[in-house]
Amino acid sequence: MSAGEMESEWAGEPGKLIRDRYRAAAQLVKNRGVLSCLMINDLDAGIGRFGNTQMTVNNQMVVGTLMNLADNPTRVSIGQEWRDEDVVKRIPIIVTGNDFSTVWAPLIRDGRMDKFYWQPTREDILNIVYQMYRKDGLMKSEIEKIIDTFPNQALDFYGALRSRTYDSSILKWVSQIGGLAKLEENVLRKKKGEELPEFIAPEQTVESLIEAGESLVKEQRMVMEMRLSDVYMKKQEGTGPGIGFS
């Protein structure tokens, strides 16, 4: 499940959805004899409290459902009458998140939730990024150079380097086949049997990846330093009939 499924126009629907999928995972264990779990990505984005965000009925029911599953993992109701023989297998619930301090405290207390904080070491990052680029033929020493050039970056940053090199190559390829004006004609409107323009994937080199990294770092700095409010609305100071912004 994703955090986007924690809300619905129908009251109680997200809580019921969690129970349904929990029971489906339990049924999978019972019928097929394979391991299963319920995975919820970015739980804090769905039920966390950020600033002045409003707590909805569905948020409360999701919290209540998860607390009940933690306390009574083998008796899960989906609305039908209780039956003594209706006992399901206990299924692990694994949730991910960025800031669990925004989640209802009784849900994450010790005993209901075991918390694991992952903070990779430099060696961990090196091995993970090396696996990302292993098929590109880059050596571990080259990956180490990239990591040292851009320290203290998230893992997604190093994955985005390849995407940036591909984006640049695709834009050059579009320009070579006639530009955006003829992209539809040259790619989408080809008749059956006609050959499509060939796109050659870019070769990943340390130099191209570092160049892409410098572009990403520049964007990061712009986000951190640029205040668009100062650009769109000039500050007005002093008294007067106008509206003042500060």
Strand partners, 173: none
Q: What mean pLDDT is predicted for residues 47-55?
A: 82
Contact 196, 205 (CB under 8 A): no
Closest CA to 130 of 155, 151, 152: 155
Q: What mean pLDDT is predicted for residues 76-101?
A: 84
pLDDT of 9 higher than 50: yes
Structure tokens belonging to residue 244: 């003042």
C-alpha span between 140 and 153 (Å, rounded): 18
CA 31 to chain centre: 32
Q: What mean pLDDT is predicted for residues 121-126?
A: 91
**3-state SS class at 96:** coil
DSSP track, 3-32? GGGG--SSTTHHHHHHHHHHHHHHHHHHHH
Contact 48, 99 (CB under 8 A): yes
C-alpha span between 114 and 102 (Å, rounded): 16
Contact 8, 14 (CB under 8 A): yes
| Alpha helix stretches (DSSP H) within 103-193 | 105-108, 122-132, 140-149, 155-176, 183
Q: Which residue has the higher pLDDT, 62 or 182?
A: 62
Q: Which long-range contacts (CB under 8 A, 24 or more apart) does 165-168 make?
A: 165/202, 165/204, 165/208, 165/209, 165/212, 166/201, 166/202, 168/202, 168/212
pLDDT of 246 higher than 70: no
Place of tokens 């080259």: 142
- Mean pLDDT score across all residues of the chain: 85
C-alpha span between 240 and 85 (Å, rounded): 76
Q: What would the pLDDT profile of 138-190 be if each residue is shown by its tens digit?
A: 899 999 999 999 998 988 899 899 899 888 888 888 888 888 777 777 777 77
pTM above 0.85, yes or no: no
